[in-house]
């Protein structure tokens, strides 16, 4: 049996498969389907300092090989998280990561300080790339100086593993990643969703209440893969790759492109067991190719 | 009542009219209890434009054969593909999903309103309500006589009242125009599933008559089990997921302008 | 019958359907299938001053709802164009537009001057967005100052209709479009392909000889539509929209988002008659919605 | 010989072994002349991963019934879907595409080499070569006896020589190991279609023996009719499209390192 362990800074992952924030609820929704603790890690849904209602319905539109969403970070805020969600997720024997969101740097800091107090949360994912909120969000991730600043300030208050999640809606993603790495990120994760739009030709109306939303799913995989490859070459910290991963082959491709671990997003909606299936598929791939340590294939694209 | 994702076998397929089909899906394992008003989420294979699953209400549960029956109206690629499935085919389904209707109490007089394919959940609801000894009335609205389906089947669980937009069968007009609403002895509860405008009209009527009313919403869904937060509707307690907190809501909890 | 005519600067289009450069050959390849003159216009394949061999095989990879290409502007150069292609395409009773490419501003100018001499070519499309050439190409389209400069210089030597085709691989496409408009572009067309990548997990090799290539097809439609919408709001000159248009409904969506005309690209590979079918589909849409002039729906998204 | 895109009807389907099928596709209109070695480009419907058409060599042309036969080996979603088609189904095809082989002259002795599913174009080529009064020999290479198909059919157009990698039928080894190459009386022309390494080996052999040799390439294609420029191969005159300048090339025009 191949050794599937990988390491993201101080996090030890039993396998490279994590689930993407906003697509895995708080994990507990999957208890009926899988043993969540068998995953390398889970990313909880985006959390903010205060309660957020999110955007109006409709928030979703199906697209060719993908979907647009405009959830807008609906969540009950960090107090609720600490009281009602944390007790349920700390039980998992896997890395539980909180996806941290803010409209201002102060909010990012205050939220991170709260999460820092939770013993069984060993990492945060700093989301500076959400396309679905008016203030903050993507604005941080598409501008180098802003991305640098938020990373730097949050770093000051957080000593555990800090993953920074970046926006793909940029000209040169490697440039921003480098800036973020420089400010102390322990890992970067990409991609978040691409800003897109859908229209109903019959009613002439946008299909999302917010007009634009975030595109995810296999449609974006070729672009995501390219970005992961570019970023992995540009920076030294481990990269967590995602964007349209639907099966183990996709996951292997991201690892060959340079990802140390992957996150499964939209695929969870279509098959609630998919993340575990991907773990098994990676194991089979390793066996078939006589790979003893899966970490040996990271960045091993043959050119 | 754990959710599961598994292959069910298509054991029976009945075409009811030009665009409605009954599909009977059998589970190898015994079914745990399913509430009337719950739904299933079906993976459509081999269709180029259906990326996400497609939700369908549970039309009937046949515990004796571990079967779930769904009523499918063909409206797009997903539903067309689904009704092309052949007997013996495996259908990949996540179920049971959602909350379901609250069952009436003994001797209560209830009105189950279905508009179009919104009649789907009312069959199982009618059966279980009758079993609970409620007095069951169905009010089924359709565009035209040719769209009125399953009338005999509904009659087994209660009395059936019909409306059609063109008057070709039953009362002419929408369901709310049916004289049943003006009868003196009123209903204890109304349950409704159908197009949004119809549910709004029914809710308004129910509110005016002070009758307890539940509606089953059909918001667009990505996951169906509460993780994507795409299917929300506004309630007194903020946005709630139609797939987990619903699809059935009491109208008093919804922020409808009625 | 609805009036399908639209206008792009001085070009009168009998309908809003054009074909995208690099996906329609030189038009003549379609003579067996359709009457090319029934289209609103055709964009010929990318032309350069000198002969170009393009990239090595493999140049193509299929992706979910799309494809990657790495053709690299293979063409025989402008001399060959004038002698051997122009005589065949001038016969078409439609707008024949040359897609102009350069590695330097001087090349863009020299090429444009040659095209300027051809009586029956009424417009050029300045491609500053090709992701598949090392020098020039996308570098022009992803930087504001460069996009401005090439537009400005070419404008000086060209008085007919100048369409500028921009890169979608940017953070803020509307910003670059504005710059280009300011420098005298008569119209902008978008999107070109998105930089993507594909890997064969079994052999661990990239599927394209160039590693990365341009993503086209329905996969990119939501992003393309969003960009067209943003650009159409930001600038005054007509926008030509494209990216994953497969049918008349898609075309209508782009027009509602603000496109005056559309270009059909990858869809031509799958159905060589598609462009004409889309013209018919638009006509049917107009009839069904009681639209007398199709130009009435441009930008008419209801919000 | 104008190209067209139209629906052909699947009139016959024969499974030859575990992964090879013959599909007979009938045109309503009379077929114009098709050259051996030309190909058709098929739209795969209802498959979620096949965005582009799939090219297949013309295996046989039956002018009497306006039919084209293709030989399909199942290797991925597209080919699996295609062979699932049922008799009477409409198959959307662009044809005829590519150049085709140059026919031999009367009394020439020719060797038609097919490796794996590369045997596909050799049937029609064999037939027309025989009609042109050439002396036709087939050399068919496969992995194993169970992969050797259509031997009797090939025998109708010439003599058949076989190789298998495991020696379970015919000569053991690759096609170039067949003793036919060492015979004194040589061939006037060799035609070859198969996996790239095989075609390279054959080309090398042909070059060494100074025999005129044509190979049929199977580069990945997006359009199939010369507009995308994705399918190129390097020739003495620069990059040429396999779909229009090929798929058949004389090895003397290719930039192969042989
Ligand atoms: C909880 C729930 C229960 C349902 N129960 C049933 C049922 O019992 N029987 C049945 O036939 N259908 C039911 N539906 C609707 C069914 O899910 C859709 O008709 C189906 O998903 C359409 O898929 P398609 O691929 O055929 O059409 P698509 O091509 O996806 O859509 C065709 C058209 O229908 C519209 N549409 C699709 N889904 C919805 C929706 N949820 N709400 C409003 N408009 C929609 C689309 O916008 C489009 O205009 C239910 C939906 C929900 C959410
Ligand atoms: C001119 C031409 C003629 C052909 N004639 C025949 C024929 O007569 N009979 C037949 O069975 N097949 C033929 N092929 C190959 C056939 O087109 C492919 O097998 C088919 O497209 C695979 O589609 P799929 O969806 O089943 O597999 P996919 O899922 O697309 O691919 C499965 C595997 O096959 C590989 N593959 C696919 N296409 C090619 C290709 N063109 N070259 C090399 N590897 C490829 C893929 O990389 C992948 O590894 C021909 C190809 C060309 C270009
Ligand atoms: C419905 C939905 C909600 C999401 N919410 C979040 C979020 O709260 N925080 C975040 O960082 N990313 C969020 N994402 C982005 C995903 O985590 C992931 O980056 C993206 O979907 C790409 O991966 P995929 O193609 O595998 O889905 C969300 C995505 C979807 C589809
Ligand atoms: C094979 C191929 C070749 C292309 N060549 C060119 C080109 O030479 N010049 C250019 O401006 N765009 C070129 N494009 C981009 C298209 O014109 C178009 O912008 C893009 O494909 C998006 O549209 P689509 O999704 O409808 O294909 C090419 C696209 C493809 C697929
Ligand atoms: S559909 Fe995903 S939460 Fe309801
Ligand atoms: S496949 Fe498009 S040019 Fe050959």
Contact call for A54 and B232, based on CB within 8 A:
yes
pLDDT the model gives residue B152: 96
Chain A positions touching chain B (beta carbons under 8 Å) = 22-25, 29-30, 32-33, 45, 53-54, 56-67, 69, 71, 74, 217-218, 266, 268-273
pLDDT the model gives residue C132: 56
**Average confidence (pLDDT) over A124-150:** 70
A 10 A CB-CB count for A14 gives 18
Domain boundary among the residues D67, D97, D127 is at D97
Nearest ligand 3 atom to the CA of A73 is: 8
If asked whether residues B241 and B127 sit together in one domain, one would say: yes
**How far is the C-alpha of A287 from the C-alpha of C291, rounded, in Å?**
62
**How far is the C-alpha of B101 from the C-alpha of B122, rounded, in Å?**
10
SS3 of B97-113: the string is ECCCCCCCCCCCEEEEE
Closest residue to atom 36 of ligand 1, CA basis = B220
Cα-based angle D8, D11, D17 (whole degrees, multiple of 5)? 115
Q: Does a structural domain hold residue D115?
A: yes
D46 contacts in B (CB within 8 Å)?
Answer: 46-48, 81
If asked whether residues B131 and B167 sit together in one domain, one would say: yes
If asked whether residues D92 and D120 sit together in one domain, one would say: no
Nearest ligand 2 atom to the CA of D70 is: 8
If asked whether residues B35 and B56 sit together in one domain, one would say: yes
Q: Are C301 and A199 in contact (CB under 8 A)?
A: yes
pLDDT for residue A30 is more than 70 = yes
pLDDT for residue A175 is more than 80 = no
> pLDDT digits over C111-160, tens only?
999 999 999 999 999 998 755 555 555 666 666 667 788 899 999 999 99
- Residue among D3, D222, D233 whose CB faces C67 most closely: D222
A 10 A CB-CB count for A118 gives 17
Cα(C277) to ligand 5 centroid in Å equals 37
The domain spans of chain A are 6-297
Spell out, as residue ranges, where chain B has pLDDT lower than 50: none
In short, whether B77's Cβ falls inside 6 Å of ligand 1 is yes
Cα(C185) to ligand 3 centroid in Å equals 38
DSSP letter assigned to residue C26: T
In short, whether B79's Cβ falls inside 6 Å of ligand 1 is yes
Whether B238 contacts chain A with CB within 8 A: yes
Q: Does a structural domain hold residue D102?
A: no
If asked whether residues D12 and D139 sit together in one domain, one would say: no
pLDDT for residue A178 is more than 90 = no
Minimum CA–CA partner of C274 in chain D: D5
pLDDT for residue D218 is more than 60 = yes
In short, whether D53's Cβ falls inside 6 Å of ligand 2 is no
If asked whether residues D122 and D172 sit together in one domain, one would say: yes
**CATH of residue D183:** 3.40.50.80
Kindly report which listed range (A181-190, B228-237, D150-159) carries the lowest average pLDDT score: A181-190
Q: Give pTM, 2 decimals.
A: 0.96
The subunits that touch chain B, with at least 3 C-beta pairs less than 8 Å apart, are: A, D
pLDDT the model gives residue A52: 94
pLDDT the model gives residue C167: 81
pLDDT for residue A61 is more than 80 = yes
Instruction: Give contacts of D 91-110 with C, CB under 8 A.
Output: 94
Cα-based angle A95, A34, A28 (whole degrees, multiple of 5)? 60
**Average confidence (pLDDT) over C70-90:** 95
The subunits that touch chain A, with at least 3 C-beta pairs less than 8 Å apart, are: B, C
Which pLDDT band, with edges at 50, 70 and 90, does D48 fall under? confident
In short, whether A245's Cβ falls inside 6 Å of ligand 3 is yes
pLDDT the model gives residue C243: 98
In short, whether A40's Cβ falls inside 6 Å of ligand 3 is no
Which pLDDT band, with edges at 50, 70 and 90, does A135 fall under? low
Domain boundary among the residues D73, D97, D121 is at D97
Q: Could you list the residue range(s) of the whole structural domain that residue D16 is in?
A: 4-97
If asked whether residues D91 and D128 sit together in one domain, one would say: no
pLDDT the model gives residue C128: 85
Contact call for B81 and D48, based on CB within 8 A:
no
pLDDT the model gives residue B1: 60
A 10 A CB-CB count for B86 gives 7
**Average confidence (pLDDT) over D12-33:** 96
Q: Which two tokens stand for residue C145?
A: 């100052």
**Average confidence (pLDDT) over D213-236:** 97
pLDDT the model gives residue A179: 77
Backbone region of residue C80 per phi and psi (left: phi > 0; alpha: psi in -120 to 50; beta: other values)? alpha
Shortest Cα distance, chain D CAs vs residue C45, angstroms:
9
**How far is the C-alpha of C32 from the C-alpha of C93, rounded, in Å?**
17
Q: Omega before B247 cis (within 30°)?
A: yes
Nearest ligand 5 atom to the CA of A60 is: 1
If asked whether residues D142 and D215 sit together in one domain, one would say: yes
Closest residue to atom 50 of ligand 1, CA basis = B56
**Average confidence (pLDDT) over D195-199:** 95
pLDDT the model gives residue A183: 81
Cα-based angle A180, A181, A185 (whole degrees, multiple of 5)? 90
B77 contacts in D (CB within 8 Å)?
Answer: none
pLDDT for residue A159 is more than 80 = yes
pLDDT for residue C253 is more than 90 = yes
If asked whether residues D188 and D70 sit together in one domain, one would say: no
pLDDT for residue C174 is more than 80 = no
pLDDT the model gives residue C136: 53
Full DSSP string of C236-302: SS-EEE-SS--SHHHHHHHHHHTEEEEEE-THHHH-TTHHHHHHHHHHHHHHHTT-SBGGGGTT---
Whether A86 contacts chain C with CB within 8 A: no
If asked whether residues B130 and B246 sit together in one domain, one would say: yes
Whether D217 contacts chain C with CB within 8 A: no
Average pLDDT, chain C: 93
Instruction: Give contacts of B 146-175 with A, CB under 8 A.
Output: none
> pLDDT digits over A199-250, tens only?
999 999 999 999 999 999 999 999 999 999 999 999 999 999 999 999 999 9
> Partners of D213 in the beta sheet?
D190
pLDDT the model gives residue D225: 98
In short, whether B20's Cβ falls inside 6 Å of ligand 1 is no
Closest residue to atom 38 of ligand 1, CA basis = B220
Q: Does a structural domain hold residue B104?
A: no
Contact call for D225 and C272, based on CB within 8 A:
yes
In short, whether D149's Cβ falls inside 6 Å of ligand 2 is no
Chain D positions touching chain B (beta carbons under 8 Å) = 45-48, 81
Superfamily name and number for A6-297: Aldolase class I (3.20.20.70)
Quote the distance between the C-alpha of residue C215 and its chain's center.
14
pLDDT for residue A133 is more than 60 = no
Which pLDDT band, with edges at 50, 70 and 90, does A141 fall under? low
Per DSSP, the three-state class of C136 is coil
Nearest to D163 by CA among C3, C13, D151, C110: D151
If asked whether residues B69 and B115 sit together in one domain, one would say: no
Nearest ligand 3 atom to the CA of A67 is: 31
pLDDT the model gives residue C140: 63
Q: Does a structural domain hold residue B133?
A: yes
In sequence order, which residues have a C-beta less than 8 Å from that of residue A282 and are 6 or more positions away? A4, A15, A16, A17, A248, A251, A252, A294
**CATH of residue D85:** 2.40.30.10
- Residue among A57, A63, A269 whose CB faces B228 most closely: A269
If asked whether residues D172 and D203 sit together in one domain, one would say: yes
Q: D interface mutation test: which of C57, C74, C75, C198 has the most D CBs within 10 A? A: C57
If one counts the domains in chain B, the total is 2
Which pLDDT band, with edges at 50, 70 and 90, does D46 fall under? confident
In sequence order, which residues have a C-beta less than 8 Å from that of residue C79 and are 6 or more positions away? none
């Amino acid at each position: 049996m191949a050794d599937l362990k990988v390491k993201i800074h101080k996090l030890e992952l039993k396998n490279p498969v994590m689930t993407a924030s906003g697509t895995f609820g708080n994990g507990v929704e999957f208890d009926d389907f899988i043993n969540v603790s068998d995953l390398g890690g889970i990313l909880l849904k985006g959390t903010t300092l205060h309660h957020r209602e999110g955007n109006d319905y409709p928030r979703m539109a199906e697209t060719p090989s993908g979907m647009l969403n405009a959830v807008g970070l609906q969540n009950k805020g960090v107090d609720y998280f600490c009281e009602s969600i944390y007790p349920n997720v700390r039980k998992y024997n896997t890395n539980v990561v909180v996806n941290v969101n803010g409209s201002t740097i102060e909010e990012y800091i205050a939220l991170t300080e709260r999460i820092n107090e939770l013993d069984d949360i060993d990492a945060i994912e700093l989301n500076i790339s959400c396309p679905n909120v008016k203030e903050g969000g993507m604005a941080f991730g598409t501008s180098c100086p802003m991305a640098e600043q938020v990373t730097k300030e949050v770093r000051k208050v957080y000593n555990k593993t800090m993953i920074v999640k970046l926006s793909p809606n940029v000209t040169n993603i490697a440039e921003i990643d480098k800036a973020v790495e420089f400010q102390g990120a322990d890992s970067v994760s990409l991609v978040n969703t691409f800003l897109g739009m859908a229209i109903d030709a019959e009613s002439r109306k946008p299909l999302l209440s917010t007009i634009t939303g975030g595109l995810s799913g296999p449609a974006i995989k070729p672009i995501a893969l390219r970005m992961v490859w570019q970023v992995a070459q540009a920076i030294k910290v481990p990269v967590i790759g995602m964007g349209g991963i639907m099966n183990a082959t996709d996951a292997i491709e991201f690892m060959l492109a340079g990802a140390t671990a992957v996150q499964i997003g939209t695929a969870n909606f279509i098959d609630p067991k998919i993340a575990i299936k991907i773990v098994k598929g990676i194991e089979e791939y390793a066996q078939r190719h006589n790979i003893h340590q899966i970490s040996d294939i990271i960045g091993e694209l043959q050119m | 009542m754990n959710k599961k994702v598994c292959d069910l076998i298509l054991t029976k397929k009945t075409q009811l009219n030009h665009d409605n089909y009954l599909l009977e899906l059998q589970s190898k394992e015994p079914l745990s209890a399913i509430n009337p008003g719950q739904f299933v989420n079906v993976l459509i294979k081999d269709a180029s434009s259906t990326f996400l699953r497609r939700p369908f209400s549970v039309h009937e549960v046949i515990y004796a054969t571990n079967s779930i029956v769904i009523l499918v109206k063909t409206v797009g690629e997903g539903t067309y593909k689904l009704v092309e499935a052949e007997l013996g085919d495996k259908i990949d389904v996540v179920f049971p999903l959602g909350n379901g209707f609250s069952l009436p109490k003994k001797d209560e007089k209830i009105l189950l309103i279905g508009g179009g394919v919104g009649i789907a959940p009312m069959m199982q609801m009618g059966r279980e309500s009758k079993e609970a000894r409620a007095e069951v009335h169905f009010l089924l609205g359709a565009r035209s006589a040719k769209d009125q389906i399953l009338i005999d089947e509904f009659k087994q669980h209660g009395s059936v009242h019909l409306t059609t937009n063109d008057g070709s069968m039953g009362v002419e007009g929408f369901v709310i125009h049916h004289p049943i609403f003006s009868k003196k002895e009123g209903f204890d509860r109304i349950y409704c599933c159908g197009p949004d405008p119809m549910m709004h009209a029914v809710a308004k009527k129910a509110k005016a008559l002070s009758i307890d009313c539940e509606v089953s919403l059909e918001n667009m869904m990505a996951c169906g089990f509460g993780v994507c937060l795409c299917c929300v509707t506004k309630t007194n307690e903020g946005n709630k997921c139609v797939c987990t907190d619903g699809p059935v809501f009491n109208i008093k909890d919804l922020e409808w302008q009625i």
